[in-house]
Structure 1
């Protein structure tokens, strides 16, 4: 479900399939009907399990600090579909969407929802013509509908087990999917990957005559985004952007850009002692836990959470229970949402409850830090419903 997409589908009388279908045939055929709007653009392609959005934000911030205009295609939406296509970190407007969907209404090739949105993104970027465009893969990489571009560089921040029903049950299989974004003769920048993943990447990069770039040290400058994993993402963004800009790259501009980069729901303090973090798989939960221990070593933690059905909820609970024994579980409006009663029944927490409304964020009056985590769809709902509480708060 892509929030807000139906509005444009209905307006322009477009039918598309809500299912996930791997493969590039349909998107390539549709783009050909549209005149191949994805050609002759300066793309950066990002695939990986975690860190895609943050790394994209860091790269965009560095490029913008160098005076470049930057397009971004994100997945999934934060508030609605407009978030997913941005120019200079601002959602594109209805005029851009209407222009794209008017063209899409005339094609004959049937598409899935994500393929439709991907095609719309390429149309918008072709219309707005940013200097650089950062494309985030939706799932996997090799057969993801974004993988029709010839990027200046490919970027893979991390690889861990995810979407195993689509991508395979081993790190090596998942790495093969991610490595599908590597293009002939174009460099690939990689984060700190598991040994078996790096082996797969190295083999494919060699076959593609693609130079592998690795960040050697963690970036230690000031960052709004908290946690060691964000220092790693910033380091990777530095390496990738330095390769793209070549002799135009200025270290002080990169430092300033990285210091200003921000992205919603990445250990974001939305209110005093209330943190929103979209950790939704084991690897991202581990990063969240590490950051909690780093930032709040002596504080009690209250976890508020909801997840989608396809996540390993028991493994996620076990990890979060290492930093908290106080949990609140939420049902939320999404057809893929895991019922809160299942989380409640599987939780080993000493203090646990289920909340079936969002109008008052369940913040404890005790000396606790509230970590709201799990599905980005849940976080978006909570932000919207509690907007008056959050709107004037700006952390130092």
Structure 2
């Protein structure tokens, strides 16, 4: 379910394929009908369980600081489908999306929603012609519809158990999918991967004569994005930028670009003492817990959350209970949303409630911070309504 895409599908009467068939046959056929827009320009491909969006934003910041124009394809949406396709940080306009969709209406190959959006993105980037386009894989990598490009560098940010119903039950299975974005003779930058995953990645790279670049130290330059894990994401972005810029890479410009890079829903304070963070699996939740401890060591923490059904919700609850005994569980609109009642019953905190998504208001207790987390889909649903609710609530005080 891609928020806002249905408007264009209906408007242009585009036939979509509801059945997800692994592989690149359909997207490749559709792109060929469109004149192969994915073969125009210079690309970076990013896969990983966590950290893709942040790394993509940090890399874009570095490249823009060097005077380059940069396209970004993100997944999933922050607010709606438009912010998934960006040029120099600006979302695609409805008029520009219409241009892509008008072309897609004419093709004969039926596509899934994500394939359709991927094709629309490639059409937009071909028209904009940025110096570099950073493409974030939707899920996995090897069979993801984005894996039709030949990038100058690939990035694998992290590998952990997630989407196991699609990608497999073991770290090795998931690593095989992520490693599928590595291309022959092209370098791959990788994060701190578990040893079984690293073995798969190195074996895949060796078979393709691809150099593996593995930064071992976090970036210590100032970052707008909070948390130790973001400093490691920044290290990946720096190494990828070096592969793109070569002798033109400038350390001072890179630091300036990193300091300026921000992304919604990554420990973002949307209102005083109200933080949105898109952590949604055990690995990213642990990073969130560490960031909370580092940023708010003396504050009481109120966790507001909702999760998808395929997440390890019991482990996630135990992790968050390390920093809070005050939880609010909420329902949100998604076909895979986990009922709030299940989270309520499993939580062992002293204070817990179930609330409607529209009932969340900023806390008035001076020493408490609210962290809204658990799903990027939740934050997408909540973002627009919560901002207006908070503003209205403030005016009554």
Matched with 1:280 is: 280
SS in 2 for 1:327: strand
Confirm or deny: 8 A CA contact 1:270 1:390 kept in the other structure: no
Q: Normalising by the residue count of structure 2, what TM-score does the alignment of the two structures yield?
A: 0.96
What CA distance in whole angstroms lies between the structure 2 residues aligned with 1:208 and 1:149? 16
SS in 2 for 1:38: helix
- Would you say how many aligned residue pairs link Structure 1 and Structure 2? 393
Instruction: Check if 1:179 corresponds to 2:195.
Output: no
Q: 1:17 to 1:346 in 2, by over 3 A?
A: farther
SS in 1 for 2:118: helix
What CA distance in whole angstroms lies between the structure 2 residues aligned with 1:357 and 1:118? 30
Instruction: Check if 1:45 corresponds to 2:45.
Output: yes
Matched with 1:118 is: 118
Matched with 1:255 is: 255
What CA distance in whole angstroms lies between the structure 2 residues aligned with 1:20 and 1:69? 34
The CA deviation string for residues 167-188 of structure 1, in whole angstroms up to 9 with x for no partner, is 1111111001000000000000
Q: 1:383 to 1:40 in 2, by over 3 A?
A: closer
What CA distance in whole angstroms lies between the structure 1 residues aligned with 2:277 and 2:133? 26
Aligned-residue RMSD, C-alpha = 1.5
What CA distance in whole angstroms lies between the structure 2 residues aligned with 1:308 and 1:185? 38
How far off is 1:366 after superposition? 5.6
What CA distance in whole angstroms lies between the structure 1 residues aligned with 2:46 and 2:176? 14
**Structure 2 portions without partners, runs of 5+:** none
The CA deviation string for residues 2-38 of structure 1, in whole angstroms up to 9 with x for no partner, is 0000111111110213454321000001111111111
What CA distance in whole angstroms lies between the structure 2 residues aligned with 1:238 and 1:230? 12
Matched with 2:333 is: 333
Q: 1:222 to 1:391 in 2, by over 3 A?
A: farther
Confirm or deny: 8 A CA contact 1:361 1:382 kept in the other structure: no
Matched with 1:100 is: 100
My pick for the range that moved more, 355-364 or 223-232, is 355-364
Matched with 2:380 is: 380
Instruction: Check if 1:8 corresponds to 2:8.
Output: yes
SS in 2 for 1:285: helix
Matched with 1:63 is: 63
The CA deviation string for residues 171-229 of structure 1, in whole angstroms up to 9 with x for no partner, is 11100100000000000000111111111111110100001111131100100100110
Matched with 2:223 is: 223
Confirm or deny: 8 A CA contact 1:328 1:355 kept in the other structure: yes
The CA deviation string for residues 64-86 of structure 1, in whole angstroms up to 9 with x for no partner, is 11110100000001110001000
Instruction: Check if 1:151 corresponds to 2:145.
Output: no
Confirm or deny: 8 A CA contact 2:27 2:115 kept in the other structure: yes
Q: 1:386 to 1:242 in 2, by over 3 A?
A: same
The CA deviation string for residues 30-67 of structure 1, in whole angstroms up to 9 with x for no partner, is 11111111113200000000000000000000001111
How far off is 1:381 after superposition? 2.6
Q: 1:258 to 1:391 in 2, by over 3 A?
A: farther
Q: Normalising by the residue count of structure 1, what TM-score does the alignment of the two structures yield?
A: 0.96
What CA distance in whole angstroms lies between the structure 1 residues aligned with 2:166 and 2:85? 25
**Structure 1 portions without partners, runs of 5+:** none
Confirm or deny: 8 A CA contact 2:274 2:372 kept in the other structure: yes
How far off is 1:260 after superposition? 0.5
How far off is 1:335 after superposition? 2.1
SS in 1 for 2:79: coil
Matched with 2:207 is: 207
Confirm or deny: 8 A CA contact 1:306 1:338 kept in the other structure: yes
How far off is 1:367 after superposition? 2.0
Instruction: Check if 1:294 corresponds to 2:294.
Output: yes
Q: 1:391 to 1:70 in 2, by over 3 A?
A: farther
Matched with 2:139 is: 139
Confirm or deny: 8 A CA contact 2:71 2:86 kept in the other structure: yes
Confirm or deny: 8 A CA contact 2:175 2:197 kept in the other structure: yes
How far off is 1:324 after superposition? 0.8
What CA distance in whole angstroms lies between the structure 2 residues aligned with 1:295 and 1:369? 11
My pick for the range that moved more, 19-28 or 99-108, is 19-28
What CA distance in whole angstroms lies between the structure 2 residues aligned with 1:343 and 1:20? 29
What CA distance in whole angstroms lies between the structure 1 residues aligned with 2:44 and 2:281? 25
Confirm or deny: 8 A CA contact 2:357 2:382 kept in the other structure: no
SS in 1 for 2:155: strand
The CA deviation string for residues 208-267 of structure 1, in whole angstroms up to 9 with x for no partner, is 000111113110010010011000000110011011100111111000000000001111
